[in-house]
Structure formats: structure tokens, C-alpha cells
């Protein structure tokens, strides 16, 4: 069984084809044999019936009260054919007999009815088919039995059986060879796909498999494999960019720490200089710690190991809290934060995760908005969705970059550089937090300049859902 499961597909297909064909041929041969045998027996019964009708017209009563055959030699029952005519009286006395010299068993007159009776009897180790029926000769009621040997029929049936039995293995063998050839030809495209797929490595993920016919099963399989390669290529590209960007982000503060340390060690300094150097090093270490913590959070999100604690949450109140906590940043840049909030927009969400998303978007708007500008926050309900919009008056985002700004470490230009203290992960965290809540985050250009970020989240479905605090394990796709 183990060898069978490890055999090639073409061998297994051929084997199953041969097994199924063998079963079908056995059933067909059996049905054919039964049908032919039945047909031959029916023909024999018809011949017995013709013999009986012939005998009825040619058997006469003689002057001495006996029964004789009246007819030419063509109808003579003693002409050597394997048949027997017998006439029995009502008292069980045999009145006439002619034909092959065999001892057939006597007729059971007690079981005779008024209808014809066909049966098979054995005499001299041979099988005979008989027809027994009553008729009248010279005004006397008698019973006649006409018999024919089944030997010729049995020989014919036996010949057919031999042909079927001997022909079955030959047909199965030929069909097996043909099935193997067909299976081999049918699986050639799969062999070609396997050969092409072996040539595709991590450095050649841009290559694709070729399909002879995109509409058949193998063509659809090729399309699925090509889509998989495309996703792998995209994932590898993202991984390469992520690794390069993460290395660059960590290398900068490490270089700063190293430079400060080398400068301090190079010559003796005053305590104030040492304190200033240590403070600068701690700032860079804090920056690296924040970066590593953010990367770990995104990694846990990708792995699906972060659990959400969903609770009833008023989106407007959450927006007010975030705006209050970041108000000091806006004051430092002489910016004004305005609120246009519709109360009663209630979600089933994790407060901490969703707060972090809103905080990152609002911090991004304040950070890149010019001094003295306005940051507008709007909360409203749109059908079955809660909408939170944050609009700034910054330089705006070109249309070709509006989807990529949610990628990790992506920056549009120098206006969004490391000079602002960011690592390019804030919007990636925001998108992740919105996605795991079943929502969507988008960015559009404002008519008067600047950008507007919109967070759309599903409204809680029912009051029962709001009362039921659930803990859900979530992950991030892509």
C-alpha cells in the first residue's frame, strides 16, 4: 500500500483506470453471458414449440388403436436429429415414442395442467429441454412431450464464455497501455510546469510559468501558481526594503551614540559635559527603544498574536481625549485644533489600539502642518460606519504616494524626513490598528491644500454586542 501511495500520478491513474475498466468489463461480460444464454434457451423453446405443432399435424391414430407418424422423411422424427417425441395416455401409458435412443424420465401426469410446460431434465448424463402439453389424437386426449438436447446450445454458450474470459485480460492489458500513454500525455504540461518552477529561485521571482491553455484545469493551476509567485515577490521586496530601512534607522542612532562616546573618551571633560553627553546618548537610546518596540508590535500583529479587548467605545469621546493629550504639541507650533463631533457614534473596539491609531494620524498632521495652521477633527456617522476625519494644511501628498505612505519606513520627500524625529512607522501602525477592527483608512488631498485622513469603522451591530466584552485574537494580512 505504501508503494502505491508513493507511485507517480501516471502510474496511479493507469492502475485505477485498469481496475475500474476490469470491474466494468466483468460486469459487462457477465451480463452479456446471461443475456446470450437466455436468448439461446428462448430460441430452443421456440424450436420445441415448432416441433410440437408439426407433431400435432402428423401424428394419427392407426386402425389397431395405436399412434403413428404420418408424413414424409423430412418430418420423420427418426432422421437422426437430437430430438425425442413421446405420447402418453391419460392413464400414464406411453402410446408413442420416436427419436434419439435415450431414457427420459416419465411424465408426472398428476402435476400436468392445461397449459404448456417447459423444463430441463437429465438423461444419460445429458441435459434435455422439454415441452409437455396435452392434445387430441383420434378423439382421445393424450399428452405429448417434445425434447431437444441442450448440447449444441451449451457448446455455443461455452464458446462465448471462453471468448469473454480469454478476451478480458487482453482488452484490459491494451486499455492499460493506452491509459498509461494518455496519462503520460495529459501530465506532460505538469512536468513542464515542474521544470519551470525549479528554475525560479528567490532571486528570480519575477519569472512566471507559461500555460498552454489558460482555460483548462492546468491553465487555472498555472494562474494560481503565478499569483502565488507574485505575492511572494511582493513579500520579498517588502522584506528587503523593511530590512534595509530598519538597519538604516538603527544605524543612525548607533552612530550618534558611538560618536558621542568616542568624543567623551578622547579627552577629559567637565561633569556638565559628561552629563550632557549621557543625556544625548539616552535620547538616542530612547529613540532606538521606541523603534524596536514599534517593530515588535508590528511583528506580533503580522503573526496574529495580539488580542483585542472589544468594548463599547464612543468615537467622539475618544477623539476628544486624543486631541486634548496632543494639544500641547499644537500650542508649541502655534497651531489650532478644531473639533466637529457628532455624539453617539458607538463602536465595539479596543480602546488602547484604536487610540494609538488616532494619535499617530493626529501627530502626523500636527508635525507636518505649518506654524499657525489649523488641524480639523470631524466625527460623524455615515450609514453603518463611523467616520473620523483629520485634515491638515500641510504640503499634501502626491496621488502616486497616497497608498504607499502606509508602508513601513516610507517617506514622500525631505519634508517628511528624520529631522522630525519619526521613523516612518506611525501611519503603518495606524493602518494596522484600523484593519484589525474591520475598518479602512484613506487619505485625500484637500481643495485648499493639505491632506485629509479618513478612518472608517463599523458601527456596533446591537446593544447586546455592546454589553458583551469580548477578547479576540487578530492578525494582520499583507
The DSSP secondary structure of 363-402, one letter per residue, reads HHHHHHSPTT-EEEEEEEEETTEEEEEEE--SS---GGGT
Q: In the prediction, which pLDDT does 349 show?
A: 87
With a cut of 90, say whether residue 387 has pLDDT above it.
yes
Please list the residues that pair with 308 across neighbouring strands: 472
Q: In the prediction, which pLDDT does 477 show?
A: 37
Residue in the block written with cell 479587548: 309
Task: Give 172-221 pLDDT, tens digit per residue.
Answer: 888 888 888 887 777 777 778 878 888 887 777 777 888 777 777 788 88
How many C-alpha atoms does 359 have within 13 Å on its Cβ side?
15
Q: Where are the alpha helices (DSSP H) in 267-350?
A: 271-303, 315-325, 327-332
- Across the range 301-317, mean pLDDT stands at 76
Which residue did the predictor score with more confidence, 337 or 299? Answer: 337
With a cut of 60, say whether residue 475 has pLDDT above it.
no
Cell of 350: 479596543
* C-beta separation of 470 from 349 below 8 A: no
What are the CA-CA distances from residue 206 to residues 18, 201, 218, 453 (Å)? 42, 9, 21, 34
359: nearest Cα among 430, 450, 288: 430
CA dist., res. 14 & res. 184, Å (int): 9
Residue in the block written with cell 510546469: 193
CA dist., res. 67 & res. 117, Å (int): 22
What are the CA-CA distances from residue 311 to residues 68, 348, 380, 469, 471 (Å)? 114, 5, 19, 5, 9
Task: Give 172-184 pLDDT, tens digit per residue.
Answer: 888 888 888 887 7
The alpha carbon torsion through 22, 23, 29, 30 (nearest 10 deg) reads 150
Grouping H, G, I as helix, E, B as strand and the rest as coil, residue 8 is coil
Q: How confident is the model at residue 317 (pLDDT cuts 50, 70, 90)?
A: very high
With a cut of 60, say whether residue 266 has pLDDT above it.
yes
Handedness of CA 433, 430, 453, 398 (dihedral sign): negative
Grouping H, G, I as helix, E, B as strand and the rest as coil, residue 206 is coil
CA dist., res. 50 & res. 31, Å (int): 29
CA dist., res. 174 & res. 136, Å (int): 61
Grouping H, G, I as helix, E, B as strand and the rest as coil, residue 437 is coil
- Across the range 144-167, mean pLDDT stands at 87
CA dist., res. 40 & res. 34, Å (int): 10
How many C-alpha atoms does 172 have within 13 Å on its Cβ side?
20
Residue in the block written with cell 504639541: 329
Which residue did the predictor score with more confidence, 201 or 23? Answer: 23
Diameter of the chain measured on Cα atoms: 164
User: Which phi and psi (to 5°) does residue 195 adopt?
Assistant: -65, -40
DSSP letter at 434 equals H
Share of the chain above pLDDT 90, in %: 7
CA dist., res. 141 & res. 88, Å (int): 9
CA dist., res. 427 & res. 453, Å (int): 10
Q: In the prediction, which pLDDT does 242 show?
A: 66
This prediction's pTM: 0.48
Grouping H, G, I as helix, E, B as strand and the rest as coil, residue 309 is strand
Please list the residues that pair with 83 across neighbouring strands: 148
* Domains of the chain (ranges, CATH numbers): 10-157 (3.30.450), 217-297 (1.10.287.130), 307-474 (3.30.565.10)
- Specify burial of residue 130 (Cβ count, 10 A radius: 0-12, 13-18, 19+): buried
* C-beta separation of 48 from 149 below 8 A: no
Grouping H, G, I as helix, E, B as strand and the rest as coil, residue 11 is helix
Residue in the block written with cell 456617522: 381
- Across the range 253-269, mean pLDDT stands at 78
DSSP letter at 110 equals G
With a cut of 60, say whether residue 108 has pLDDT above it.
yes
With a cut of 60, say whether residue 473 has pLDDT above it.
no
Which residue did the predictor score with more confidence, 156 or 99? Answer: 156
CA dist., res. 202 & res. 5, Å (int): 31
Please list the residues that pair with 87 across neighbouring strands: 96, 144
Q: How confident is the model at residue 78 (pLDDT cuts 50, 70, 90)?
A: very low
Amino acid at each position: 500500500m505504501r508503494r502505491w501511495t508513493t507511485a507517480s500520478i501516471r502510474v496511479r491513474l493507469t492502475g485505477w483506470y485498469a481496475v475500474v475498466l476490469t470491474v466494468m468489463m466483468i460486469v459487462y461480460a457477465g451480463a452479456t453471458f446471461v443475456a446470450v444464454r437466455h436468448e439461446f434457451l428462448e430460441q430452443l423453446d421456440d424450436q420445441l414449440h415448432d416441433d410440437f405443432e408439426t407433431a400435432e399435424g402428423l401424428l394419427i391414430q392407426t386402425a389397431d388403436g395405436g399412434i403413428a407418424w404420418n408424413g414424409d422423411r423430412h418430418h420423420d422424427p427418426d432422421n437422426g436429429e437430437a430430438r425425442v417425441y413421446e405420447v402418453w395416455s391419460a392413464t400414464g401409458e406411453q402410446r408413442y415414442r420416436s427419436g434419439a435412443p435415450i431414457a427420459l424420465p416419465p411424465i408426472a401426469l398428476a402435476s400436468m395442467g392445461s397449459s404448456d410446460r417447459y423444463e430441463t431434465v437429465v438423461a444419460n448424463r445429458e441435459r434435455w429441454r422439454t415441452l409437455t402439453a396435452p392434445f387430441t389424437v383420434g378423439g382421445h386426449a393424450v399428452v405429448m412431450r417434445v425434447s431437444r438436447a441442450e448440447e449444441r446450445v451449451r457448446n455455443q454458450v461455452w464458446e462465448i464464455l471462453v471468448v469473454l474470459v480469454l478476451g478480458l485480460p487482453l482488452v484490459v492489458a491494451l486499455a492499460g497501455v493506452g491509459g498509461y500513454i494518455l496519462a503520460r500525455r495529459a501530465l506532460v504540461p505538469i512536468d513542464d510546469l515542474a521544470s519551470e518552477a525549479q528554475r525560479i529561485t528567490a532571486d528570480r521571482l519575477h519569472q512566471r510559468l507559461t500555460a498552454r491553455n489558460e482555460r483548462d484545469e492546468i491553465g487555472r493551476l498555472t494562474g494560481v501558481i503565478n499569483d502565488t509567485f507574485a505575492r511572494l515577490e511582493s513579500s520579498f521586496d517588502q522584506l528587503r526594503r523593511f530590512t534595509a530601512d530598519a538597519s538604516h534607522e538603527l544605524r543612525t542612532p548607533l552612530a550618534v551614540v558611538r560618536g558621542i562616546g568616542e568624543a567623551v573618551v578622547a579627552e577629559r571633560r567637565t561633569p556638565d559635559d559628561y552629563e550632557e553627553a549621557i543625556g544625548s546618548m539616552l535620547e538616542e537610546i530612547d529613540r532606538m527603544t521606541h523603534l524596536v518596540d514599534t517593530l515588535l508590535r508590528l511583528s506580533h500583529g503580522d503573526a496574529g498574536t495580539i488580542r483585542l479587548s472589544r468594548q463599547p467605545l464612543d468615537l467622539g469621546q475618544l477623539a476628544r481625549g486624543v486631541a486634548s493629550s496632543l494639544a500641547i504639541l499644537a500650542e508649541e507650533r502655534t497651531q489650532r485644533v478644531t473639533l466637529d463631533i457628532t455624539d453617539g457614534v458607538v463602536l465595539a473596539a479596543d480602546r488602547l489600539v484604536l487610540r494609538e491609531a488616532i494619535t499617530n494620524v493626529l501627530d502626523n498632521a500636527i508635525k507636518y502642518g505649518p506654524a499657525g495652521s489649523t488641524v480639523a477633527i470631524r466625527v460623524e456617522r455615515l450609514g453603518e460606519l463611523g467616520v473620523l476625519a483629520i485634515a491638515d494644511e500641510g504640503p499634501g501628498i502626491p496621488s502616486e504616494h497616497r497608498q504607499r505612505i502606509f508602508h513601513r519606513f516610507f517617506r514622500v520627500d525631505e519634508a517628511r524626513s528624520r529631522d522630525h524625529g519619526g521613523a516612518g512607522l506611525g501611519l503603518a501602525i495606524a493602518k494596522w490598528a484600523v484593519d484589525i477592527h474591520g475598518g479602512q483608512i484613506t487619505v485625500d488631498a484637500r481643495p485648499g491644500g493639505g491632506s485629509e485622513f479618513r478612518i472608517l469603522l463599523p458601527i456596533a451591530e446591537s446593544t447586546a454586542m455592546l454589553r458583551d466584552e469580548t477578547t479576540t485574537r487578530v492578525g494582520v494580512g499583507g
